[in-house]
A and B are shown apart, each in its own frame.
Chain A
Amino acid sequence: MKKAQAGTLQSSDLMVFLEPAETLTVTIESAVLKQFGALIRAKVDEVLARHGVESGEVRITDRGALDYAIEARLETALARATEA
């Protein structure tokens, strides 16, 4: 895995940053963390599991993105992180 990033800082979107690391850490910053933090986290975990990601630093800053946006941005970042 190499460093990669996807998404924007615009409203209803999110920014995903991936960096290589020995263990898997996920941090999420969001204006709606209180209400939706657990749902965002579950979505992120689901995508990471589906792609077999077991290590790396995943940082997300969210501005109220919907499920499918989270999935799309994270998958794009993962694709960029693993492309040659």
Chain B
Amino acid sequence: MTDPSWIDAALVAARPRAVGALLRYFRDLDLAEEAFQDACLKALQTWPDKGPPRDPAAWLIFVGRNVGVDGVRRRGKQTELPDEAALSDLDDTETPLAERLDNADYRDDVLRLLFTCCHPDLPATQQIALALRIVCGVPVPRIARAFLIGEKAMEQRITRAKARIATAGLPFQTPGPVERIERLGAVMAMIYLVFNEGYTAPGVGDDRAGLSGEAIRLGRLLLRLFPTEPEVMALVALMLLQQSRAAARFGTGGELILLDDQDRSLWDRGAIAEGLALIDKAVRHARPGSYQLQAAIAALHARAPHAAATDWAGIERLYTALEALQPSPVIRLNRAVAVMKARGPQEALTMIEPLAEALDGFFYFHGLKGALLKQMGRSAEARTAFSQAVALANTPAEAAHIRSEIDSLSDTAAAVRPSTITNRRSS
């Protein structure tokens, strides 16, 4: 007798490898998914009594292939199956299949499946929806709730994405080393998109916030496939370190709580331990990259026992390195926050003023500008900047936070010496 909960977890865990292999066989996303679903039904019928197979993924692939082929035949060969002889890597038969089902063999299947979801022709929202549906197996109604749209609309979005991929054609040849690294980069970006979709959600525990957990699971999957890639280690570290603060980021009324003001006893120590271990491992490879720099910044926050102990000079150095690696006004804006903390608001304001044009439509730019002006006692200008920020806020929580900043601006603030305010802010 095999426990149903264990079977559930085994099916979820086997999904990327099984669907990836079935996609290679059928060369059609819908067929691969259907075949996997059918194999899961068979598993639920047989595993409870007979016990689980030694390798659940191999079992599901074998059964899925057979039921998939039957299905195609029943439909009168509407879809022409590829000629077996034409497929160099299709030498699977049951016994050898189970034998060779390790990560090295199936790495390209899973990577292809992930890469399919982040096809460059697809807009970000479709990439995320497709990855959640196909790789993670999240039911459509839950994805729809996470995106705050109707089930039908989400169904259509996923169907459109699949159609677009079918038209564009899937890359089935085994990738060369350079191509594999390119795919890896695209997949990492897609996983981080999924994470941020959940991380920016206004609260914990709801469907949308759950996306962060799915992204971390995808990241771990990728890391098991590429256990020695420092950038993959760092991506998982970055997500874990950010996610570790989830319980401290919102107040009881759903209001946003900034890093400085968070109750650090609410931070998830397990996630922090894993994140720090991974960034330590990544740095040892001496092959810096943008995820490593971002994770290293998150690690400096995680290592600080309280806000005042944060190594802002170290964070500024890391942002400088990040900006050198990929120059962007948004990274400069983040660097300015570190400069403000390390050396005061005047220098930070001088740094971000040239960004006004590039970041005019960006919430964080006006928010930071307002905060800097407020610290310098320039209340009227701060009020203008904050008002622009409110108009550009991405979530109600962000807007509420800026409004509370506006409320704390008083006309008397302008009369107080700037240095006093600066000192109070940074204490």
Q: Do A and B come from one complex?
A: no
Residues of A in contact with B (beta carbons under 8 Å apart): none
